[in-house]
Amino acid sequence: MKPLDIALATLVAVIWGVGFVLTRLALDEMSSTLLTVLRFAITALPCLVLPRPRMSWQLVVAISWLLVSQFLAQTYGIAHGVPAGLTAVIVQSQALFTVALAALFLRELPTRWQVAGIGIASCGLLLICFTVGYDFSVFAFAVLMTAPLSFALSNLLLRRARGVPMLDLFAWIGLAGLAPLLTVLLFVDGPRVTWLALTHISLGGAACVLALAVIGSTLGYWIWGRLLHDYSAAQVVPFALLVPFVGAGASALVFGEQFGPLRLAGMIVVVCGIAVMLLSPRPPVLVEVS
């Protein structure tokens, strides 16, 4: 890869890692549902000038609703006490779910290295499970664990969108996600609570939402899609390994998050397992989202 493209891939990983911290800051002023709605709404604005991608509308909706499920789950987890750094690691575990689901539904048999990576990452998740119930509830952790599963399913569908401009695709994905998100928002938060939250957002909170949508989603996916177009997945995807490190590090710096020995060991083991999968001779095609 060219030095500039290496720098861009690293920048995207940093942006997505910091996105978990921005999510935590934004959740101080609004619900997880409202934050997700605003993020998808801003991401959808380019639809006003961008054409609909040349793929079936049903596929766009399916990918969109899976990503809605992912973002709702991960923001819910953070809003209910799961540390942002730990969330970054758990969401990145989508790699092992992607490989497993590809084997189950697409009959793509994983390599020995990928099987080893799945086993290693699973052991790390098990270690993390032993720490649940102290600083956040089992229910919050269970909801959060649906995020990497939804992410993995969307990865499989995104593989059918090769050659489609990522900027166009994710703008229309944002639009398709607004209907279910607004329904959930009105049902869970209600019009009154939503209006109060919108009218009391600080400049800092608004900046976090804009950064998540414009920089994290629109710009991040445009750069990532361009890199995947110019290079093989084996060259680009390993940069996603930086995301959990950046997320955990930024969370520790901003919030002073400290991880006990067992949880820290679990996080490290998960990332090591993901590294084994991504750096294997035939890494899975993944798309990372914060």
| pLDDT on residue 106 | 78
| pLDDT on residue 285 | 45
Q: Contact 75/23 with Cβ under 8 angstroms?
A: yes
- Whole-model pTM? 0.85
Quote the domain boundaries for residue 231.
3-278
Both tokens of 147, joined, read: 């995020």
CA angle 70, 75, 76 (to 5 degrees): 100
Tens-digit pLDDT profile for residues 208-233 = 999 999 998 889 888 877 786 777 65
With tokens 């166009």, the residue in question is: 168
Domain count of the fold of the chain? 1
| pLDDT on residue 247 | 85
| pLDDT on residue 284 | 47
Identify whether 97 is part of a domain.
yes
Identify whether 7 is part of a domain.
yes
Identify whether 283 is part of a domain.
no
Identify whether 290 is part of a domain.
no
Question: CA–CA separation, 144 vs 139, rounded Å?
Answer: 9
Identify whether 191 is part of a domain.
yes
Tens-digit pLDDT profile for residues 94-116 = 878 888 888 888 777 878 888 88
Identify whether 113 is part of a domain.
yes
Identify whether 196 is part of a domain.
yes
Identify whether 51 is part of a domain.
yes
| pLDDT on residue 118 | 83
Averaged pLDDT in 10-residue chunks for the chain of 290 residues: 85 90 93 94 92 89 93 93 87 82 80 84 85 80 92 83 81 93 93 92 94 90 78 69 84 84 87 79 50
